[in-house]
């Protein structure tokens, strides 16, 4: 006990004892207070001196900084964009405060901000004008992501463009693959997914990030990229992508809600951990350069086990629902946004993620600057 602490303790003890001894105590003190008096005055409490004092290294800010194990860096974050056709469009997404659907001209303005903040990369999602059953907008040369990629690379050559490679936003039924008789077909989907990846690389994408969860997609994409002269373009595989309730706000943003059923015949069951490691192993065997766990916060155990298992870089997707929960609580004044966001992202990093896709990226980069 420090001097200050023992002072407080004895003042409190005397106050109670005083009133107790004056005979007022019987009426006025509670049972709990009397028990405390008894504890302080009658019991024999041995004094303990700890052998090891962990608090030594916590005693001042410079010491805490010196021994800090995990650090956040702006370059580790990927910031997502939701792109629509047109000009001068910037539509707020109501469930994701601060995030917009925007046209390419508006995106270029925000990209400048992203670069100034020291962030190194953006992730592109496209919302096409027309959806169909072959996801034409996903792989077309004039698709929204292809156009946005060309503009970004022209204006900001050093900003990494990560292309989300999936079909759901471009399909009229909203599923991540070809649908036949209500089934989501695996092998026929691979061809369109690979075609999409090649068109994104041809537009200048620096990283291909398939999020569809079809079997064999990493091999299919790797072969297609290599066959078209893109052998140097890395694949960031959404390897362990769970069928999560936390994608709700994203589906508003990307207009990609499945029109029937759900995604549990291809995305993973939240209850399964070993299966996630199999998915990761398979993607590595098929040629993934970076593996991803998604969402991040309920799956820190998977990130941590993946960290033990592979030497590849690991990405985690701090998804829309994780973002919205924090924003909603902060808007209500229930939590301190900056403090909580930094804590959550530090936790994801400590668990083993090298890279984090997050809608908080701009805020974090600006906090890290100051
Ligand atoms: C679709 C896709 C999803 C996300 C990224 N790509 C969700 C889904 O499966 O509907 C989720 C991202 C987020 O919630 O922030 N392939
Ligand atoms: Zn999809």
Residue nearest to atom 11 of ligand 1 (CA): 247
Residue nearest to atom 16 of ligand 1 (CA): 211
* Tens digit of each residue's pLDDT (9 = 90 or more) over 327-344: 999 999 999 999 999 999
d(CA 370, CA 366): 7
* Tens digit of each residue's pLDDT (9 = 90 or more) over 344-365: 999 999 999 999 999 999 999 9
Using pLDDT thresholds of 50, 70 and 90, give the confidence band for residue 13. very low
Instruction: Find the ligand nearest to 177 CA.
Output: 2
| CATH of the domain spanning 75-369, picked from 3.40.250.10, 3.20.19.10, 2.40.37.10, 3.20.20.70 | 3.20.20.70
* Tens digit of each residue's pLDDT (9 = 90 or more) over 211-269: 999 999 999 999 999 999 999 999 999 999 999 999 999 998 888 899 999 999 999 99
d(CA 70, CA 332): 29
pLDDT of residue 12: 47
Across the range 160-171, mean pLDDT stands at 97
Instruction: Find the ligand nearest to 250 CA.
Output: 1
pLDDT of residue 2: 52
Using pLDDT thresholds of 50, 70 and 90, give the confidence band for residue 177. very high
Annotate the chain with three-state secondary structure. Answer: CCHHHHHHHHHHHHHHHHHHHCCCHHHHCCHHHHHHHHHHHHCCCCCCCCCCCHHHHHCCHHHHHHCCCCCCCHHHEEEEEEEECCCCCEEECCCCCCCEEECHHHHHHHHHHHHHCCCCEEEEEEECCCCECCCHHHHCCCCHHHHHHHHHHHHCCCCEEEEEECCHHHECCCCCCEEECCEEECHHHHHHHHHHHHHHHHHCCCEEEECCCCCCHHHHHHHHHHHCCCCCCCEEEEEEEECCHHHHHHHHHHCCCCCCCCCCCCCECCCCCHHHHHHHHHHHHHCCCEEEEECCHHHHHHHHHHHHHCCCCEEEEECHHHHHHHHHHHHCCCCCHHHHHHHHHHHHHHHCCCEEEECCHHHHHHHHHC
Compute, in angstroms, the gap from residue 250 CA to the centroid of ligand 2: 11
Instruction: Find the ligand nearest to 95 CA.
Output: 1
pLDDT of residue 43: 87
Residue nearest to atom 3 of ligand 1 (CA): 247
pLDDT of residue 203: 98
For 52, half-sphere exposure in the C-beta direction (CA atoms, 13 angstrom radius) is 1
pLDDT of residue 37: 61
Compute, in angstroms, the gap from residue 73 CA to the centroid of ligand 1: 24
Name the average pLDDT for the chain: 92
Q: Is the pLDDT of residue 163 over 70?
A: yes
d(CA 142, CA 32): 75
Q: Is the pLDDT of residue 14 over 50?
A: no
- Catalytic residue at 154? no
- Catalytic residue at 32? no
Compute, in angstroms, the gap from residue 250 CA to the centroid of ligand 1: 6
pLDDT of residue 256: 87
* Tens digit of each residue's pLDDT (9 = 90 or more) over 273-308: 999 999 999 999 999 999 999 999 999 999 999 999
* Tens digit of each residue's pLDDT (9 = 90 or more) over 50-100: 999 999 999 999 999 999 999 999 999 999 999 999 999 999 999 999 999
* Tens digit of each residue's pLDDT (9 = 90 or more) over 103-144: 999 999 999 999 999 999 999 999 999 999 999 999 999 999
Give the nearest ligand 1 atom to 166 CA: 16
Which residue out of 131, 241, 327, 362 is catalytically annotated?
A: 241
pLDDT of residue 11: 46
Residue nearest to atom 2 of ligand 1 (CA): 211
Q: Is the pLDDT of residue 159 over 90?
A: yes
Pocket test of ligand 1: the residue of 166, 177, 292 to mutate, having most ligand atoms within 8 Å of its CB, is 166
pLDDT of residue 370: 79
Using pLDDT thresholds of 50, 70 and 90, give the confidence band for residue 30. low
* Tens digit of each residue's pLDDT (9 = 90 or more) over 223-233: 999 999 999 99
pLDDT of residue 21: 53
Which residue out of 294, 311, 327, 338 is catalytically annotated?
A: 294
Residue nearest to atom 5 of ligand 1 (CA): 211
Compute, in angstroms, the gap from residue 49 CA to the centroid of ligand 1: 53
pLDDT of residue 304: 98
Give the nearest ligand 1 atom to 256 CA: 10
Compute, in angstroms, the gap from residue 30 CA to the centroid of ligand 1: 57
pLDDT of residue 26: 46
pLDDT of residue 263: 93
Protein residues whose CB sits closer than 6 Å to any atom of ligand 1: 164, 166, 168, 176, 211, 247, 250-251, 256, 263, 319-320
Q: Residue 321 has which token pair?
A: 């629902």
Instruction: Find the ligand nearest to 123 CA.
Output: 1
Q: What are the structural domain ranges in the chain? A: 1-44, 75-369
With a pLDDT cut of 70, the percent of the chain lying above it is 89
């Amino acid at each position: 006990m420090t001097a200050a602490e023992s002072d407080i303790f004895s003042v409190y003890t005397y106050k109670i004892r005083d009133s107790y001894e004056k005979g007022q105590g019987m009426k006025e003190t509670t049972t709990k207070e009397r028990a405390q008096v008894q504890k302080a005055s009658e019991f024999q409490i041995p004094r303990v001196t700890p052998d090891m004092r962990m608090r030594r290294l916590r005693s001042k800010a410079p010491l805490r900084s010196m021994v800090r194990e995990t650090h956040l860096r702006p370059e580790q974050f990927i910031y997502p964009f939701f792109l629509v056709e047109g000009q001068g469009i910037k539509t707020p997404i109501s469930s994701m405060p601060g995030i917009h659907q925007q046209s390419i001209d508006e995106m270029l303005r925000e990209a400048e901000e992203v670069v100034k903040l020291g962030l190194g990369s953006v992730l592109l999602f496209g919302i096409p004008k027309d959806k169909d059953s072959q996801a034409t907008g996903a792989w077309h040369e004039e698709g929204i992501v292809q156009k946005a990629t060309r503009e970004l690379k022209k204006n900001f050559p050093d900003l990494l463009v990560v292309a989300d490679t999936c079909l759901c936003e471009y399909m009229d039924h909203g599923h991540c693959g070809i649908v036949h008789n209500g089934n989501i077909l695996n092998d026929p989907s691979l061809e369109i997914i690979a075609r999409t990846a090649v068109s994104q690389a041809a537009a200048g994408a620096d990283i291909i990030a398939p999020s569809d969860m079809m079997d064999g997609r990493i091999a299919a994409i790797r072969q297609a990229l290599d066959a078209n002269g893109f052998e140097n373009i890395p694949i960031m595989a959404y390897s362990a992508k769970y069928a999560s309730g936390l994608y709700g706000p994203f589906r508003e943003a990307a207009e990609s809600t499945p029109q029937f059923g759900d995604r549990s015949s291809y995305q993973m069951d939240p209850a399964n951990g070993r299966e996630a490691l199999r998915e990761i192993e398979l993607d590595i065997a098929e040629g993934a350069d970076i593996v991803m766990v998604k969402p991040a916060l309920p799956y820190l155990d998977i990130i941590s086990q993946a960290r033990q298992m592979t030497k590849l870089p690991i990405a985690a997707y701090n998804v829309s629902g994780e973002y919205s929960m924090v924003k909603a609580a902060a808007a209500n004044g229930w939590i301190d946004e900056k403090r909580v966001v930094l804590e959550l992202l530090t936790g994801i990093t400590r668990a083993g993620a090298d890279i984090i896709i997050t809608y908080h990226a701009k805020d974090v980069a600006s906090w890290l600057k100051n």
